[in-house]
Amino acid sequence: MDMRRFLMLCGRSFYRLGLAGWIIQMQPGRVRGVLYHAIDSDDTAYNRGLKLSVSPETLDSQLAYFSRYYQFAGSSDTEAAKHSATLAISFDDGFSSVYHNGWPVLKKHKAPASIFLVTRAVQQQLLWFNALNWALHQQPVIARKILGRYIQKPLPKLPRDCVIEVQEHSSPETISKLLEELHEALPFDKSQTHYLSPVQIEEMRAGGISFGFHTVDHYNLINCDAEELARQLDSSALRSFVSDHSFAYPCGYYDADVLRGALSRGFDPLMGVGLDNGRHHHCHLDRVEIYHSNAADIFAQLEVVEPLLALFRRWMRRQTGQRPSFR
């Protein structure tokens, strides 16, 4: 049995023994961040297999659990709430399903949330990972032939693994050329809307949802040169939509140059992925993606598994002298 499974079993046992409230209150200064993307019961080919979606029913179950144990706070309001068990809800990428399926659930539970917008998505242009995922699912022969010209090694079998390979190792210039070739070769349906429209954003802002920035194109910022990094961190095109100075790294990837660039732009807080980012800068707010609907599983992941795995990783780095990973 691996460590994650063992810790999940321990966490479930703690919950069933009635220890959840006690364990949560042991860490009153810790702000818990939870991260979502799309809120859909059925994935489309654009998101299929990418583990970006939870159903409205799952979100409802999770918020019912959160409201029992935590004080909700916006991503930029967590400092004022650090005296209690605080939880901040956020959604990355700005998928329209958050408006249609997620916002009604948030309103039901009176839960504030922050949505991190990508300039390209607000302009209703397909984000590269949605386009590539659709192509690999709907037109795999053509898509893999095109992709093979940009990846100089055997392609992974699964579409998701192909997307991750591009995300981790391809430059923005390479992704831009890949996207252009895919659009020229394949019949993308340009009538479909996948992302929040300006009208929907304004309606949600009026209803208390806050909006932060999530780059221009959703590239891996580590793979950007200085000029491209500056372009990706330029939020001026979304000035009328972004409510505050919060920023979310695409997929949680950053390094020292990206951190300096974000701070120089005045972004704060900086939203990471996982529970090991605060050691790099006090502006970081860690977030966890949760797909469970069962209360015992939600508690186990958020309060036992992720915190203890983060502590273990820090201990291992100290023992081995390994340089810190920024993801």
Let me know whether 57 and 203 are in one domain.
yes
Residue 326 lies in a domain: no
- pLDDT for position 325: 44
Let me know whether 160 and 231 are in one domain.
no
Let me know whether 143 and 249 are in one domain.
no
Residue 27 lies in a domain: yes
Let me know whether 260 and 299 are in one domain.
yes
Let me know whether 120 and 210 are in one domain.
yes
- pLDDT for position 82: 59
Low-confidence ranges of the chain (pLDDT < 70): 1, 76-83, 275-281, 317, 320-327
Could you write out the three-class secondary structure of the chain?
A: CCHHHHHHHHHHHHHHCCCHHHHHHCCCCCEEEEEECEECCCCCCCCCCCCCEECHHHHHHHHHHHHHHCEEECCCCCHHHCCCCEEEEEEEECECHHHHHHHHHHHHCCCCCEEEECHHHHCCCCCHHHHHHHHHHHCHHHHHHHHHCCCCCCCCCCHHHHHHHHHHHCCHHHHHHHHHHHHHHCCCCCCCCCECCHHHHHHHHHCCCEEEECCCCCCCHHHCCHHHHHHHCCCHHHCCCCCCCCEECHHHCCCHHHHHHHHHCCCCCEECCECCCCCCCCCEECEEECCCCCHHHHHHHHHHHHHHHHHHHHHHHHHHCCCCCCC
Residue 325 lies in a domain: no
Residue 39 lies in a domain: yes
Residue 268 lies in a domain: yes
Let me know whether 277 and 174 are in one domain.
no
Give 74-133 pLDDT, tens digit per residue.
876 656 555 678 999 999 999 999 999 999 999 999 999 999 999 999 999 999 999 999
User: Could you tell me the CATH number of the domain that includes residue 43?
Assistant: 3.20.20.370
Residue 75 lies in a domain: yes
Residue 142 lies in a domain: yes
Residue 298 lies in a domain: yes
Let me know whether 306 and 158 are in one domain.
no
How many folded domains does the chain comprise? 2
Q: Directed axis angle between helix 128-138 and helix 140-148, to 10°?
A: 130
Hey, what are 319's tokens? Answer: 């023992």
Let me know whether 170 and 237 are in one domain.
no
- pLDDT for position 163: 98
Let me know whether 77 and 160 are in one domain.
no
Let me know whether 175 and 208 are in one domain.
no
- pLDDT for position 278: 53
Let me know whether 168 and 316 are in one domain.
no
Domain end call among 163, 185, 207: 185
Let me know whether 232 and 303 are in one domain.
yes
**Cβ-proximal residues to 259 (8 Å cutoff; 6+ apart), any chain:** 270, 280, 281, 326
> Which residue range forms the structural domain that includes residue 12?
3-124+193-320
- pLDDT for position 326: 44
Report the alpha-carbon angle 138-38-313, nearest 5. Answer: 105
Give 36-45 pLDDT, tens digit per residue.
999 999 888 9
